[in-house]
Amino acid sequence: MFVSLGAKAQKNSEKSLEELKFKVNVLHNGKTTITEDEIEGSAYLNKNYEPGFYETISGQRVENVPLRYNIYKDYVEGGKDDGTKYFLQVPSLIKTLCIGERQFVY
């Protein structure tokens, strides 16, 4: 009886996965990936920069920096007063990161 239930669950899971793949292909005209320009809405958790801080694994703490998280590209972006952007793309060096009230731990 246990084997029978497992086989049934496996069959349903495979069917659901195939249905999902079909829906993704239909929604994106057969493409498996989309570009950032094709995203509806914002690629950011919050499109506006929020005050935040981060602490490196060596203990250096950088505070009062405007930050936002790009969900699509999976990186944190910082902004400067002169309009330039910088990216925190080495998460292995970051111990803790806060953006607004949200805390991220790597």
User: For residue range 1-50, what is the model confidence (pLDDT) as tens digits?
Assistant: 333 233 334 344 445 666 655 555 555 555 666 676 777 788 888 989 99
Architecture of domain 50-105: Roll (2.30)
Task: Quote the pTM value.
Answer: 0.61
d(CA 86, CA 49): 12
Residue ranges of domains in the chain: 2-33, 50-105
- Tell me the pLDDT tens digit for each residue of 48-67: 999 999 999 999 999 999 99
Vertex 31: Cα angle to 27 and 34 (nearest 5)? 85
Output the CA angle 44-33-45, nearest 5 degrees: 10
